[in-house]
Structure 1
Amino acid sequence: MHTTIINAQNPLLKDFIQSYIFFDINGHQPVEYTTFPNTNLCLALYKNNQINYLSDEYNNRCSVTYSEKYFQSRLYAFHQRPFEVNINSAVDQVCILFYPGALRAFTGEAYQSILDTDHAFEVIFPMCAGFLSRLFNEESISKRVSLIEGLLLEKLTRKPNSRIIESLLLISANGKNEFRVEQLANKMMMNTSTLYRLFSSELGISPKAFLQTSRFRDALGQLISAKYVNLNDVANENNYYDLSHFTKEIKSLSGKSPKILKKEISVEQSQLAWIYYGEK
C-alpha cells in the first residue's frame, strides 16, 4: 500500500483541515492496519469499494472489499477503541482530516446522521453532483488536493463556535496537567450540563471523552519518541495517577499495553501513528 500525506495548503483552510491522506493499493493481497483514538475527524472517500463498518461497545473495525458501486464515503470519528482495518481489494482512498470542531464550519447536519451513512460526503456537501467523479478521475495528487480545497473554500460557511475554540485553547494551555470536566466548566463559567451540550453539538463527543483522548494522544506521541524510554516518565509527564492507571487506560484505548504498543507502533510521514501489518 502506498500512502501519501499532504497538509492543508490554502491559508484559509489551515485552521480547519489538518491534512489529506491518499491510500493506493493496486494489488489484491489483503492489507491490515490499526489506528487509534484521536480528536480529529476523518472523512474517507472510496471508489469501487464496499465498506463494512462495525462500531459498538466491543468492536471498532472496518473491512474494505471490491464493489461495483461507484462511490462510498464514511465519517470515522469519536473512537474509544482501536480502529482495525482489513482491506481485501484494490483501493483508491482519499481522507480529509478535520481538526476538532472544524466540520461545523462546513455543515450543520447532526453528527449521528453523518456517522450512520456510507454516503457521508453527500450529507456534508449536498448539491455537489459530479465532484467525486472529477476527484477520482484526476491522477495527480496535487491536482486532487486543489480540487478538494476548492470545494472546501466554496462550502466554508462560518467560523467554528467561539466557545468551543475557547474551551480547546484552555485545554491546550493546561498542558500536561490533568484537567477535569468540572474544572473546564468553571473556567468557561458554565455548568457541566451546558458544557456537555456544547461539546455534543459542536464536537460530537463528550468533554470527558475528549479530555481522555487528548491525554492519550499526548502519551502516544511520547511512547513513539526515542526521547522517552521509561514508561514511568511517560505516565508522570501526562499526570496519570501511577503506572497501573497509565497501563490500564492505554490498553483500553489502544488494545495493547504501553510496552507492546511502543514496540509495534510506527509513524507514517511523521503524522500517521499506526500498527501496519502490511500485505498478508
Structure 2
Amino acid sequence: MVEIFDNIRKIYTFSNACPELADHIEFFSESSIESTQKYIGSSNFSVKMFPSWTPTFYINLGAPYLITVGQQQRRINSKQDILILRNSIVERYNSPSDNIFTVKFYPGGLEAVLGISQLKCVDRIVDPGAILPSKLLDQIKKPITFAERCELMQDYLLNSFKERQQKDHYLKFVRDCIDNYGLPDMQLNTCEIAEKMFVTSKTINRYFNRVVGISPKNYFSVMRARTALTHYVNNQKDFAPYDFGYYDMSHFYKEVVKFTGKKLIEHAA
C-alpha cells in the first residue's frame, strides 16, 4: 500500500485529540486486525509513506516488524517502540498480526506538548522511552481498548502541555503560517508569507528551521505536493494543476516524481 495513492487509513481506527491539544496532535490511531483481514487478507504487506515532517510515536502492541526510514532499515521487536519525524520516505513492512498504537503530531507539536524539539529526530529512529514514562507505556500495552489507550496517552500529554503554560512564540508563529498557507493558490513565495506575518524573509526562514527543521519554501513544497496529489488521486477528471500553483501538468508530474520517487503512470499500471 502506498500513502495518497491508496487509502492506508482503512486498516486503522482513529481518534481526534481533545480541543486543548487539537492544534498540536493530528490524531491517535491503532491497527485494526478486523479491517486488515477484510482489505488485505492473511498476506504480509507494506505501507509506504511520504515526507510530512510530523513527529509520530509508534507504540508496538503486537509482532516484530521491519521499517525503513530514509536509507536505514531497522527490525523493531515486539517490545520496542519508536519515534520518527517522517522527514523522508518511510516504509513499514507488516504482517496480519501487527498491532501499532500511533500518536501523530503536527509540525512543532512535539515541542509544544512535551518540550522536545523535532530537530532532534531528523533522520533518526528515537526511543520513546527516553521521552515518555515507562509506567505510561506499560499501561498502554496492557490488553485494554483503543479508547482507554487514547485516554491514558491524552491525559499525560494534556498535563504536560498545561505545565508548559508559557506560550512559545516560535511555535505559534510557525503554526499560524501553516494555517494561513494555501490561499488562494498555494504559491511558494516566502516573501509574501513573510509580508502577511509582518516579518522579514530572514526571520521566517529562521523560525521554520528552528521549529520544523527545514525552510518554509521546502516545507510548503511538501505540503503542496501532498495536497495536490491527494486531489489528483481522488478526482483526476476535474484536477487543475493551476489551483495548486503549478504552471502546467508537466510541472505537476515532475513534482510528483520528486516527492514520491515514482511516476503517476507507474501507479496507474
Deviations 1:15-53 (A, max 9, x none): 222111212569995321222232533222225636554
CA distance 1:205–1:164, change in 2 (3 Å): same
Question: How many residues end up aligned between the 2 structures?
Answer: 249
Normalising by structure 1, what TM-score? 0.75
Deviations 1:102-137 (A, max 9, x none): 222123334343346544423443xx1211111011
1:122 corresponds to: 129
Counterpart AA for 1:185: A
Deviations 1:36-83 (A, max 9, x none): 23253322222563655442xxx4x75545x36x2221223223xx43
Corresponding residue to 1:246 among 242, 248, 252:
252
CA distance 1:37–1:184, change in 2 (3 Å): same
Deviations 1:174-215 (A, max 9, x none): 232413122222333333332222112222232112110111
How far apart are the structure 1 equivalents of 2:17 and 2:85? 23
Q: Given the alignment of the two structures, is residue 3 of structure 1 paired with residue 11 of structure 2, yes or no? A: yes
Corresponding residue to 1:198 among 198, 204, 207:
207
Larger relative contact order (Cα-Cα within 8 Å, sequence gap ≥ 6)? 1
1:21 corresponds to: 29
How far apart are the structure 1 equivalents of 2:69 and 2:49? 15
Deviations 1:218-277 (A, max 9, x none): 212211323x315xx43122121122111011111112223444x48xxxxxxxxxxxxx
Write 1 or 2 for the structure with the bigger share of helix. Answer: 2
How far apart are the structure 2 equivalents of 1:29 and 1:184? 47
Corresponding residue to 2:231 among 209, 222, 226:
222
1:149 corresponds to: 154
1:104 corresponds to: 111
How far apart are the structure 1 equivalents of 2:184 and 2:131? 33
Contact kept? 2:113, 2:158, Cα under 8 Å: no
Unaligned runs of 5+ in 2: 1-7
Deviates more, 1:90-99 or 1:38-47: 38-47
How far apart are the structure 2 equivalents of 1:43 and 1:99? 12
CA distance 1:15–1:166, change in 2 (3 Å): closer
CA RMSD of aligned residues (A): 3.0
Unaligned runs of 5+ in 1: 265-280
Corresponding residue to 2:58 among 27, 37, 44:
44
| Identity rate, percent | 20
Contact kept? 2:54, 2:86, Cα under 8 Å: yes
How far apart are the structure 2 equivalents of 1:153 and 1:119? 22
Contact kept? 2:28, 2:104, Cα under 8 Å: yes
Counterpart AA for 1:98: F
CA distance 1:104–1:34, change in 2 (3 Å): same
1:169 corresponds to: 179
How far is the alpha carbon of 1:164 from its aligned partner? 1.6
Write 1 or 2 for the structure with the bigger share of strand. Answer: 1
Contact kept? 2:28, 2:102, Cα under 8 Å: yes
Normalising by structure 2, what TM-score? 0.78
